[in-house]
Structure 1
Amino acid sequence: MDGNKDEANRCIEIGVQALSEGKFQKAEKFLIKAEQLFPTQRAKDVLMQVRNLAKSGNSKEKQEPEQQPESTRKRKNSDSRHAEPDYTTEQLEAVRKIKRCKNFYDVLGITKEATDSEIKKSYKKLALQLHPDKNKAPGAADAFKAVGNAAAILTDAEKRKSYDLYGINEANGQSSGAGMRNQYYSNEYGYARGFQSDVSAEELFNLFFGGGFPQQNVFMRQQRRRQQHRDDRENQAGGSSALINLLPILLLIGLSMMSSFFISDPIYSLTPSQKYSVKRETNSLKIPYYVKDNFYSEYQGSVLRLEESVEEEFITHLKHSCSRERNYRDSMLAKARTFGDRDLFRKAQNMNMPSCEHLQKYLNT
């Protein structure tokens, strides 16, 4: 089928050339043949144009240019220019040359002993000839991709070695390396099977003509993929070791949970609650505190020492509260002085500080 396609494209080119020369019968003959070999929309469009022009009687085969009216010659020349292909014979031949190649070395026109610099030099020359923005010949885009793929493979030392070892045998279907077989691909070219590069043809072209050929950037994605594979293997291998490393932490957590069952509740609380519902007062400062219902039957320690702890905790709590009240008042006074706010100044001076008042009362007792 691909052979028919190539032959059909050749017939179309002949037909277009005949059309540009005004030989409508010849053009129609080859375009019909192209349609029979491999139907395409381009062949249909050109064939319709040929038939329309033939009906108008403008064929060179019927009258010489000198005998044609000037208006007819102008119309024919306009139609001929419209039908001319937008590529040159040299560009078409460059594409066909790539299609006849059997391996990557042939694609780049180099030998197997070529150095990296020779490979890059050949690639730059061919890439400029075949880039789709410049070369509009049929198959130019595929030829451009083929050249880019060949350069990307042959400038990678590892892939070039694998290609040299397995590429020719694999192309003939003789290699038994399944790993190599997975790296091959197919297209319409003669050298049809080879290693597929990780870099697209456009990316490779931009790297070559955008400030040199940074090797580390061309294959960056490949290196990241390899690193990811290594990380995955390390993660799998380290799964069991990670669990072993966590065992001491899990053991500590378990011990702390178990120890919580053996920690008894405080003897007292400075605030009442459902558990601490029995009110008591210290003998010295008359500070209220609260104990459980079973305090009198269960507690066997010194009540005097317990009440000393209650008073000490209570006084410490009052000192902290008083310190916060003083800091708040001092900040209000500073703000009032800064902005000259008399009302705020008076408010700060008259601010109630209950914790400080209670503390002073107990300290004077």
Structure 2
Amino acid sequence: MESNKDEAVKCVSIAKEAIAAGNKQRALKFIGIARRLNHNLSVDDLLSACEDLDSASSRNEKPISRSKSEPASSIVDEISNVGRSYTEEHVQLIRQVNRSMGYYEILGVEKNCSADEIKKAYRKLSLKVHPDKNKAPGSEEAFKKVGKAFKCLSVEDSRRQYDQTGLVDEFENNQQTNNVRRRRRRTGNDFFDDDFDPDEIFRTFFGQSDVFGSARGVYRTRRRTTRTNQHQRGDNEGGGVGPMLIILQIIPFMLIILLAYLPFTEPDYSLQKNQSFQLPMMTEKHDVEFFVKSQEFDQKFPPGSSARAEIETNVIKDYKNMLSRYCHIELQRRQWSRNFPTPYCNKLQSFGVAAAS
């Protein structure tokens, strides 16, 4: 797959850096990973370079001597730091975060702190523990804990729920139980399940996709690849998600087709003259003009009949509603200009006086 090839290339780059630093064990480790990710990748030259490291070290090997005053621990620290791209300060910070039991303790804020203080603490701490910057062991877990703490405490509802429980494990278990009850689909918006993505929160908070530069995107790329594979496996194992989505997409078209075949009844009259309604009529009360299709209207609704009276009552009601709508618009425009005319309001007023009489 294309993602495996990209990861293999990155492993080769790490192996080259290890060879340049003289770290054969690290170089062989990443060469092996690269070959597993991409069997077609040529690494013979890297293996030869590793062999050259042995020969060069044997030629240049000299007895190691140290003064009595030099402590043995400094030599051990020097050897252990070979090929390591993090400091003791990085290690201590990661240990401190991973040892913290509560969300407030993780971010280093008080329980009564403000929302701005939570944001400032997350901004400072997330930059320090991000795996693309801090390579110390456990940095990914620490970065995840910082993301969970910020996501919980930055939302008023979840912060209130957490304050009520007081325990991280109990709070997260409650969140997972609620999600199961709602049978929520995977959308990446759940911050307390196994699919939690702290890097998504990080990118959203800082408003950019690459805070540390393109050369440090190993963790981010790996997270995206893992999440994509998990979602694909979940879709394949679920089995019923695909057909359900197809059915939901087809339903609107089916409704349109059904509505097209449903019987449609045209109105018996219109207050406005148009192509279908051209024959003018007048109500017996209030002389409201309306339009019908043909002379057959009088045959269907004879003058003086209850059916005709009902039709004319509806005409008067529609006419009054129409005047009210247009009058409302005129009054709104009247607020902008006192000289704005209000003919529909005048008609509505006259109609009300006539109806009262």
Q: TM-score, normalised by structure 2?
A: 0.33
Q: Give TM-score, length-normalised by structure 1.
A: 0.32
Highest CA radius of gyration, 1 or 2? 1
